[in-house]
């Protein structure tokens, strides 16, 4: 099967490069015979389910820390590349997308993005990454958001919103941008830009990107987006995404400022409480040493200090007690006893 898919993918790749009569030419008006065969009789969704099952199997092998044999690994590579490239060429046509199980496709795309974002070291070690699902899924997504007029925004965007696809893509681009390469970064940026420019995103912005995940887009902006947008054409395509990342930066700064003000207010409140507590300790200590009985003072301070306190009292200021060797730590301990046991000591 892997060998057959490789041959079919090669044919679809060649057919996709054939000249077209117009940019709006449909699949049925062109010469892409292999893709027509795939789309007929529901074979496209069978291919999608096989790809989903393959990716789930591959992730399970990694989670179980199982290293497949070289022959099995070679077959898996051929299957992934052959099936992935064939579906990429198919989903460049809106006719193919209209017959596709869209929820399954969106969930597959989101799963691949999230898996890559969680394991950037693995992505960095991949060879031929342009034919891997980590890059091909961006082509799948571009097929959807790039043909929004024919596909209908009301059909596509709610599924992306429910799955969290945009956040997953931003996480992958932020953590794996170096390994993906410039072309893939540009493709991912275009996908995000097209999605961020829709009415659905403007209406449900906090559901597409919850406030807790806005930092991902700030990191994306700092990682490569600003450098990429030095090119005017790239900047034009990424304008909606740039506007959203600028919004995320502003809200992050506002939140940081509000947090700083809150912490300052909390520190002032704590200092005020500590000051009031120290005043209460001082009053309790003065009340004890000025009115305590000889027996109570002897028990708490020792005979020598108790005699000195009785000889020199009354004290008007707690600082006067330091001359008798009663320093801060001991006074605090004394005050705690006086507050709890004042009736017994006086």
Q: Quick: pLDDT tens for 16-38.
A: 766 665 566 666 666 677 777 77
| Residue 121 to residues 70, 117, 222, 254, Cα–Cα distance (Å) | 21, 10, 20, 34
Predicted confidence band of residue 229 (pLDDT cuts 50, 70, 90): confident
Instruction: Describe the crossing of helices 165-180 and 153-163 by its angle, rounded to 10 degrees.
Output: 80
Q: What does pLDDT average to over the chain?
A: 82
Let me know: does 34 contact 12? Beta carbons within 8 Å. Answer: yes
114 has a pLDDT exceeding 90:
yes
> What's the average model confidence in pLDDT over 304-325?
75
pLDDT tens string 62-113: 888 888 888 888 888 888 988 888 888 888 888 888 888 999 999 999 999 9
329 has a pLDDT exceeding 90:
no
- pLDDT value of position 203: 94
What is the chain's Cα-based Rg? 35
Chain Cα centroid distance, residue 81 = 29
Pair of tokens at residue 333: 């301990």
> What's the average model confidence in pLDDT over 200-211?
94
- pLDDT value of position 333: 55
292 has a pLDDT exceeding 90:
no
- pLDDT value of position 216: 93
- pLDDT value of position 345: 37
Chain Cα centroid distance, residue 35 = 37
- pLDDT value of position 3: 67
- pLDDT value of position 342: 41
What do you get for the CA distance between the two ends of the chain, in Å?
A: 96
DSSP-derived secondary structure for 48-98 = HHHHHHHHHHHHHHHHTT----HHHHHHHHHHHHHHHHHHHHHTTSHHHHH
- pLDDT value of position 22: 59
Q: For residues 11 and 51, which has the higher predicted lDDT (pLDDT)?
A: 51
- The percentage of residues in the chain with a pLDDT greater than 90, rounded to a whole number, is 36
The model carries a pTM of: 0.71
- pLDDT value of position 340: 39
Q: For residues 222 and 325, which has the higher predicted lDDT (pLDDT)?
A: 222
Predicted confidence band of residue 306 (pLDDT cuts 50, 70, 90): confident
Q: For residues 241 and 308, which has the higher predicted lDDT (pLDDT)?
A: 241
> What's the average model confidence in pLDDT over 294-321?
78
pLDDT tens string 333-344: 555 554 434 433
pLDDT tens string 135-174: 999 999 999 999 888 888 898 999 999 999 999 999 999 9
pLDDT tens string 243-282: 999 999 988 888 777 778 888 887 777 667 566 556 666 6
Nearby residues of 246 by Cβ (< 8 Å), 6 or more positions away: 221
> What's the average model confidence in pLDDT over 285-293?
76
DSSP at 222: I
116 has a pLDDT exceeding 80:
yes
Distance CA 323, CA 33 (A): 102
DSSP-derived secondary structure for 178-213 = HHH-HHHHHHHHHHHHHHHTSHHHHHSHHHHS-GGG
> What's the average model confidence in pLDDT over 289-316?
79
Distance CA 293, CA 203 (A): 76
Nearby residues of 65 by Cβ (< 8 Å), 6 or more positions away: none
């Amino acid at each position: 099967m892997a060998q057959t898919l490789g041959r079919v993918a090669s044919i679809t790749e060649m057919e996709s490069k054939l000249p077209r009569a117009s940019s709006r030419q449909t699949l049925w008006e062109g010469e892409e015979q292999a893709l027509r065969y795939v789309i007929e009789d529901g074979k496209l969704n069978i291919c999608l389910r096989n790809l989903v099952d393959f990716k789930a199997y591959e992730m399970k092998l990694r989670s179980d820390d199982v290293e497949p044999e070289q022959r099995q690994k070679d077959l898996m590579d051929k299957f992934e590349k052959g099936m992935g490239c064939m579906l990429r060429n198919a989903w460049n046509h809106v006719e193919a997308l209209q017959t596709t199980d869209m929820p399954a496709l969106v969930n597959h795309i989101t799963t691949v993005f999230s898996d890559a974002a969680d394991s950037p070291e693995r992505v960095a070690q991949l060879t031929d990454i342009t034919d891997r699902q980590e890059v091909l899924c961006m082509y799948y997504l571009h097929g959807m958001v790039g043909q929004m007029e024919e596909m209908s925004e009301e059909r596509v965007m709610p599924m992306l919103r429910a799955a969290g696809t945009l956040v997953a893509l931003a996480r992958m681009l932020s953590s794996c941008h170096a390994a993906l390469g410039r072309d893939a970064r540009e493709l991912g940026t275009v996908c995000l830009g097209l999605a961020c420019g829709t009415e659905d995103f403007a209406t449900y912005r906090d559901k597409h990107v919850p406030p807790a995940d806005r930092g991902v887009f700030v990191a994306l902006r700092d990682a490569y987006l600003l450098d990429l947008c030095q090119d005017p054409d790239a900047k034009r395509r990424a304008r909606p995404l740039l506007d959203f990342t600028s919004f995320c930066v502003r809200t992050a700064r506002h939140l940081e400022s509000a947090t700083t003000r809150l912490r300052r207010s909390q520190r002032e409140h704590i200092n005020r409480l500590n000051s009031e507590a120290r005043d209460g300790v001082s009053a309790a200590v003065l009340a004890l040493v000025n009115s305590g009985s000889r027996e109570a003072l002897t028990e708490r301070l020792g005979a020598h200090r108790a005699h000195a306190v009785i000889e020199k009292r009354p004290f008007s200021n707690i600082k006067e007690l330091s001359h008798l060797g009663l320093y801060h730590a001991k006074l605090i301990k004394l005050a705690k006893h006086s507050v709890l046991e004042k009736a017994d000591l006086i």
